């Protein structure tokens, strides 16, 4: 690919925004949030730092673009042919896995409220919430709840991985250290946390995440059942096929 021949400081092919974004993702994946630097990036792309500013507005813009590329890929598969509940679970899990693979997305997502990556996610969630039969005036609250929950988990996962990296260990070691510290807390002041320390480590984060999604979906279902009693199958029939 693009062999920079000899003694040529000048790039032959001009820089593209997409190229910059891909290089940023690589830097972020290998070096964490601190790995993305205009200097490191420009070195990798064989340019000066200033050149990048022709294609991106600033660092936040760059981070958002990198995040959006991953989100777009993650959501590109069309919603499976199942119930809205199943689609929402799949959607949420897809985001969980993407963020798990690219922890820097955690802060990138919350750092870009209302921007393209968030819009993509909201649209997907919204369509399924609508298919679920949630009444119009409650749709936003439902979508916002799901989004907030997903971003909350994302942020925590990102922080765990990031902190582990800074301390030169891996995620699981870091979590073990936390569990350990918790189990040594004062029993009078923190009875619950102390008791939870062990259990916390045997749990699967991914399953915990899904349990939270299910809690919200459960809540939505319960709300609808009470708002409109009667044969549930009748009104859900269309969306429920499977």
**Alpha carbon distance 140, 123 (integer Å):** 11
Using the rule CB under 8 A, is 196 a contact of a second copy?
yes
Burial level of 69, CB count in 10 A (0-12/13-18/19+)?
A: middle
Task: Choose between 51 and 200: whose C-beta lies nearer to a second copy.
Answer: 200
**Alpha carbon distance 58, 39 (integer Å):** 13
Given a contact cutoff of 8 angstroms between Cβ atoms, the answer to whether 143 and 125 are in contact is: yes
For a second copy, which residue of 72, 77, 170, 181 counts as binding (CB under 8 A)?
181
Please report how close the Cβ of residue 55 comes to a second copy at its closest, in angstroms. 21
The item of DNA, a second copy, none sharing an interface with residue 148, based on CB under 5 to 8 Å by kind, is a second copy
Using the rule CB under 8 A, is 172 a contact of a second copy?
no
As a dihedral over the C-alpha atoms of residue 118, residue 90, residue 239, residue 136, rounded to 10 degrees, the angle is: -30
The item of DNA, a second copy, none sharing an interface with residue 3, based on CB under 5 to 8 Å by kind, is none
As a dihedral over the C-alpha atoms of residue 171, residue 173, residue 177, residue 183, rounded to 10 degrees, the angle is: 100
**Alpha carbon distance 187, 194 (integer Å):** 7
Site for DNA in 24-63 (CB under 7 A): 36-40, 46-51, 53-55, 58-60
The item of a second copy, DNA, none sharing an interface with residue 55, based on CB under 5 to 8 Å by kind, is DNA
For DNA, which residue of 1, 3, 9, 188 counts as binding (CB under 7 A)?
9
Q: Which stretch binds a second copy (CB under 8 A): 1-9, 12-20, 44-52, 106-114?
A: 106-114
Cα–Cα nearest to 131, from 214, 213, 225, 235: 235
Q: Which stretch binds a second copy (CB under 8 A): 19-27, 61-69, 88-96, 148-156?
A: 148-156
Using the rule CB under 8 A, is 134 a contact of a second copy?
no
The item of DNA, a second copy, none sharing an interface with residue 229, based on CB under 5 to 8 Å by kind, is none
**Alpha carbon distance 216, 218 (integer Å):** 5
Which tokens in the block code for residue 103?
A: 């922890």
The crossing angle, in degrees rounded to 10, of helices 136-166 and 171-183 is 90
Task: Choose between 17 and 206: whose C-beta lies nearer to DNA.
Answer: 17
Given a contact cutoff of 8 angstroms between Cβ atoms, the answer to whether 34 and 86 are in contact is: no
Using the rule CB under 7 A, is 107 a contact of DNA?
no
Task: Return residues touching a second copy (CB under 8 A).
Answer: 106-107, 110-114, 119, 122-123, 126-127, 130, 137-145, 147-156, 158-160, 163, 175, 178, 181-182, 185, 189-193, 196, 199-200, 203, 207-209, 211-212, 214-223
């Amino acid at each position: 690919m693009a062999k920079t021949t000899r003694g040529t400081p000048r790039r032959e092919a001009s820089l593209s925004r997409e190229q910059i974004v891909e290089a940023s993702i690589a830097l972020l994946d290998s070096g964490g949030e601190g790995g993305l630097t205009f200097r490191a990036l420009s070195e990798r792309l064989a340019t000066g730092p200033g050149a990048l500013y022709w294609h991106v507005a600033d660092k936040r813009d760059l981070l958002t673009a990198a995040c959006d590329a991953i989100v777009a890929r993650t959501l590109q598969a069309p919603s499976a042919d199942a119930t809205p509940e199943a689609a929402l679970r799949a959607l949420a899990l897809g985001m969980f896995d993407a963020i798990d693979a690219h922890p820097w997305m955690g802060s990138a997502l919350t750092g870009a409220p209302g921007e393209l990556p968030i819009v993509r996610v909201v649209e997907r969630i919204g369509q399924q919430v609508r298919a679920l039969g949630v009444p119009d005036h409650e749709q936003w609250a439902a979508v916002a709840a799901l989004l907030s929950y997903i971003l909350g988990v994302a942020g925590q996962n990102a922080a765990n991985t990031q902190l582990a990296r800074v301390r030169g260990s891996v995620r699981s070691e870091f979590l073990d250290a936390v569990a350990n510290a918790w189990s040594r807390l004062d029993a009078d002041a923190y009875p619950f946390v102390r008791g939870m320390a062990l259990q916390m480590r045997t749990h699967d984060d991914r399953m915990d995440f899904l349990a939270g999604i299910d809690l919200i979906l459960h809540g939505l279902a319960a709300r609808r059942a009470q708002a409109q009693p009667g044969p549930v199958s009748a009104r859900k029939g269309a969306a429920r096929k499977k």
